[in-house]
Structure 1
Amino acid sequence: MMLAMLLKRAFRKFGGRYGYDTGYLCDLADTDTTGTLKVGLVSLFTDHRFGLDAAPYFAAKITAARQTDCGSCLRLTIAMAREAGVPMRDIRAMLLDGAKTAPRDIALGRHYAEAVLANDPALPNILAACEARWGKKGVAGLAAATVSGSFYPLLKRGLGHGNTCEPVLAWLAGDAKEESMLETSDG
């Protein structure tokens, strides 16, 4: 009972920090405390970037969250990327224009995650490009990011708490238009 209470407190604190509903994790803690503790420990691996810069790590993580179609998980991952210093304009470029105008590292991180998730036959070439750019440790960081971006949304959906209808891309596009209008009116 005490462990479940501590886990739920930690989940609620995390949720409050990011405006993210951790109710599914709290429910899981009531169902099986030991199992939930193990789920929480997954983050020790998936949050480890293996020396990879924040931009490509979060590009892979955001791509995976988007592919699993959980709006609140995508918003959470974007908030974490912003907290790590990834510029919002780069996140928008990656999500809204197919990474055509995103910085090279972000585009490659996205391309990696897409290839892994789709089991793309081009994956060996993409892996080689990533390893040439970031080394084996960097590839491990991309793998952890891709797993992380998929893991929690799939767990959440599997527990019956999925929410695909949150319009994150519309929010990003609208936010970009507002910023553009502000820049124009300031100029």
Structure 2
Amino acid sequence: MLTWLMLGAVRRLERRYDYDASYLRALAAASPRALIAFSGVGRLQGFLEGAPPAAIAAAALAGTLNEDCGPCTQIVVRRAEERGVLPAILAAILAGDGEAMGPDAGLAFGFARASLARDLESSEDLREEIVSRWGQKGLAAIALALAAARVYPTVKYALGYGRACSKVTVGGRAVAVRT
């Protein structure tokens, strides 16, 4: 019964975001408990407190772009749009244009990229700036957004469902993605 409910949620995700979530059905077929365990990632993504939506979106996109350049990235963009992040900011994040993404997204994106690169010196300075602006709660939101965004494409590719890059749209327009 629980698996049936979870697969219903997968179908709703696919319809809402025009997304192929076959890898989630494969996970459920392998083990319903695996899909239940995987569903916990959604709770990580759901922590949106403490930092501006553009900053959380920038961290999530940095994480996703590190792993994917297509459908998973598109979902992160769509969710950010739903939270009111401006298309110009999202396009700038995807292009890696630090100036155009604005101060909040620029800070979070730079921090996320430095963290992913294990650039301890840069990430420490940026972390201090994040805590100065938004406190520990904001840092937690950015850290969780970064980590959660990487899980979906990683699992998708590991299960054999990753494909070539595809175009990403922001506000209905195709944008360049810098990976």
Q: RMSD of the alignment, in Å?
A: 1.8
Partner residue of 1:166?
A: 166
Cα deviations by residue, 1:18-40 (Å, 9 ceiling, x for unpaired): 11111111111111111211111
What is the match of residue 76 of structure 1?
Answer: 75
d(CA) in 2 for partners of 1:97 and 1:57? 15
Letter in 2 for 1:171: A
Kindly report which structure 2 residues correspond to 1:1-187, keeping only aligned pairs within 5 A, or say none: 2-121=1-120, 122-168=122-168, 171-173=174-176
Residue segments in structure 2 that go unaligned for 5+ positions in a row: none
Q: CA deviation at 1:3?
A: 2.1
The answer (yes or no) to whether the contact 2:44–2:145 under 8 Å persists in 1 is no
Q: Whose helix proportion is higher, 1 or 2?
A: 1
TM-score by length of 1: 0.86
TM-score, reference length from structure 2 = 0.90
- Cα offsets for 1:97-149 (capped at 9, x unmatched): 52222210010111111011111122111110111111000000000110111
Aligned length: 173
Gaps of 5+ in 1: 174-187
Deviations 1:60-90 (A, max 9, x none): 0011111112410001100000010001011
Distance 1:156 1:70 in 2: 13
Which structure has the bigger radius of gyration?
Answer: 1
Q: In the TM superposition, what is the alpha-carbon distance from 1:46 to its structure 2 partner?
A: 2.6
Query: Secondary structure at the residue paired with 1:171?
Result: strand
Question: Where does structure 1 differ by over 6 angstroms across 4 or more consecutive aligned residues?
Answer: none
Distance 2:68 2:16 in 1: 22
